[in-house]
């Protein structure tokens, strides 16, 4: 089947150059590329949007002061004992 397509001058030049490198006609190259595109695997569905799951409730636990974050880190480290194990 004969058909006419419009290509930008830059793309047409790329097609001619690639066809010449492969020793085939521009039409044959375009047919190959279209076939490859049609037989390519369809893109997978996009990943669902990330949703951060948080615990319900009315805020922080009693005695937790978010304005004193250094204290929170120290309390957390001392309760877990993790920094003592790595030599802090």
- What per-residue confidence (pLDDT) applies to 23? 97
Helix, strand, coil percent content, the chain, rounded in steps of 5: 50, 0, 50
- What per-residue confidence (pLDDT) applies to 75? 74
Q: How does pLDDT run along the chain (88 residues), one tens digit per residue?
A: 889 999 999 999 999 999 999 999 999 999 999 999 998 887 788 888 998 877 777 777 787 777 887 777 777 777 665 545 554 4
CA angle centred on 53, ends 68 and 77, rounded to 5°: 35
- What per-residue confidence (pLDDT) applies to 61? 77
How far is the C-alpha of 33 from the C-alpha of 19, rounded, in Å? 11
Q: What does pTM read for this prediction?
A: 0.47
- What per-residue confidence (pLDDT) applies to 68? 80
């Amino acid at each position: 089947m004969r058909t006419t397509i419009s290509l930008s001058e830059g793309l047409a030049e790329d097609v001619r150059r690639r066809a010449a490198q492969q020793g085939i006609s521009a039409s044959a190259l375009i047919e190959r590329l279209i076939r490859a595109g049609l037989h390519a695997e369809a893109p997978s569905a996009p990943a669902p949007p990330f949703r951060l799951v948080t615990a319900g409730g009315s805020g922080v636990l009693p005695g937790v002061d978010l304005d004193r974050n250094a204290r929170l880190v120290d309390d957390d480290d001392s309760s877990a004992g993790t920094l003592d194990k790595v030599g802090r």
